[in-house]
Amino acid sequence: MTSDNHRESQQLSPFPGASPDIAGEAVAWLSWLAAERRCSPHTMEAYSRDLRQFTAFLQDHLGSPASSESFLALLPSDVRAYMACRRGDGVGGRTILRSLAALRSFARHLERLGKGKAAPFSAVRSPKLPRTLPKPLTAASAVQATSVAARAGDPREHWVLARDAAVLSLLYGAGLRISEALGVTRAGAPVGQIDSLTVIGKGRKTRSVPIIPSVRQAIEDYLTACPYPLPGDGPLFLGAKGGPLSPRIVQLAVVQLRSALGLPDSATPHALRHSFASHLLARGGDLRSIQELLGHASLSTTQIYTAVDSGRLLSGWSAAHPRATRGPSPGAASKIK
C-alpha cells in the first residue's frame, strides 16, 4: 500500500491511528458489549470515542499505527502519558476514569483472544474523584416543579405544559432517570387502576416501581390533552411536532422553571430523582428498598444519600441547639451513621 493510500485508509477508518487488526477487534468488542453486557447506546458511544482518542494518541506517541501487539506491549508510563495529555486538554477526572475503564475492557478483550496480557492498564491507578453529594430540592420546591399550575404564564400550549409536569412527576414521584421516563410506552403507561410501572434501566435491567395516585393523575391529564395519536408500542411522551420527546427539551423546561420559581442552579431533572431518594430516606425509608426503587446495582451507590441526610441533621442542630454557638466541624457529617 502506498503512503497516500495508507493515509486515506486512516482517514476513512472509524479508529484513526489503529491498524486494521485493532480496528476489526474494536468492532467485535463493541458488538460483544452490546450483546453480552447489554451496555446502553450512550455507553457504547462513549467507549467507542474513548478508544478512537487513544489510538489517535498512540499513533503520535509510538510513531506508527497501533497494532494488537503494540497495544498490549504498552508500559504503564505510556498509559499515564495519555492520561496526562487528556488532563492537559482540560478533560475532567470523571471522563478520564471512564476512558481508562473502556481501555481496560478492550485490553481484556484482546487478552481473551490470546493476543497478550492486559497488565499495563491494570497497573495504572485510577484518578481519584472529589466526593460530591447530591443536591436535592426541598419537598415544597419538588412538588411545585411537578405542578401545571406552577407554569402559569408560560406561553406554550397547555398539553405541552401537562406533558412536562407528567414527565417530572415520574422523576420525583417514582425516582426515574430521564431516559427511563422517556422510554415508557403508551401501552405501559400507569393510568387508571395500574399502580406500578416496569422500567428498563441501565444495562437493560428491568425493575418494577410503584406509581402514586398524583403521578397517575398527571399522566392522565397529559393523555387527555395530547393532540397526537399514541400507538401502544410508541413512546408515551411526544415533542411539540409529534415525534419522540427529547431529553434536552425536558432539561430546558426545568431551566425555565428555575427562573419562574426561584429554584437554585442545582435544580435539574436528575435533581428530582435525588430528591425522591433523599425525601424517602428522611421520612424513614429503608435504604435497601430505596436501592431497589432507584435501580442501583450496589448499595454503596445508594448510601450517598445517608450523607445528605446527615448534613441536614447537622444544619438543623447548628440552627436550633442552644449550645450551638459555632457550626459543626467539617468532618462531623461523616461520623454520623
Question: Regarding predicted confidence, which is higher, 157 or 203?
Answer: 157
Provide the residue ranges of all domains of the chain, joining segments of one domain with +: 3-122, 139-270
Strand partners, 206: 200
Question: Regarding predicted confidence, which is higher, 185 or 90?
Answer: 185
pLDDT of residue 213: 93
SS3 209: strand
Mean pLDDT, to the nearest integer, of 167-195?
93
What percentage of the chain has pLDDT greater than the value 90? 36
- Of the pLDDT bands very low, low, confident and very high (cuts 50, 70, 90), residue 163 is very high
pLDDT above 90 (res 44):
no
Give the span between the Cα atoms of 150 and 159, in whole angstroms: 14
Kindly list the distances between the CA atom of residue 324 and the CA atoms of 31, 307, 310, 335, in Å, as whole numbers in the listed order.
59, 20, 16, 18
pLDDT above 70 (res 303):
yes
Most confident of the following: 81-95, 230-244, 256-270: 230-244
- Of the pLDDT bands very low, low, confident and very high (cuts 50, 70, 90), residue 309 is low
Give the span between the Cα atoms of 167 and 165, in whole angstroms: 6
DSSP category for residue 151? G
Question: Regarding predicted confidence, which is higher, 60 or 204?
Answer: 60
SS3 245: coil
Give the span between the Cα atoms of 146 and 170, in whole angstroms: 9
Question: What is the pTM for the complete model shown?
Answer: 0.64
The closest of 169, 165, 168, 172 to 273, measured between CA atoms, is 172
SS3 212: coil
- Of the pLDDT bands very low, low, confident and very high (cuts 50, 70, 90), residue 35 is confident
Strand partners, 196: 210
Annotated catalytic sites, by residue?
177, 202, 270, 273, 296, 305
- Of the pLDDT bands very low, low, confident and very high (cuts 50, 70, 90), residue 323 is low
Mean pLDDT, to the nearest integer, of 49-55?
91
pLDDT of residue 312: 52
Q: Grid coordinates in use for 237? A: 411522551
Most confident of the following: 20-34, 82-96, 219-233, 312-326: 219-233
Largest CA distance in the chain: 83
Mean pLDDT, to the nearest integer, of 291-299?
84
pLDDT above 60 (res 265):
yes
Q: Which CATH number fits domain 139-270: 3.40.50.150, 1.10.443.10, 3.40.470.10, 3.20.20.80?
A: 1.10.443.10
pLDDT above 50 (res 89):
yes
Mean pLDDT, to the nearest integer, of 281-295?
84
Name the CATH topology of 3-122.
DNA polymerase; domain 1 (1.10.150)
DSSP assignments along 277-315, one per residue: HHHHHHTT--HHHHHHHHT-SSHHHHTHHHHHHHHHHHH
What single letter denotes the amino acid at residue 94?
R
Q: Grid coordinates in use for 147? A: 405542578
pLDDT of residue 219: 96
Q: Of how many residues is the chain composed?
A: 337
Alpha helices (runs of H) in 150-286, residue ranges in sequence order: 158-174, 178-182, 213-225, 247-261, 269-282
Mean pLDDT, to the nearest integer, of 142-148?
90
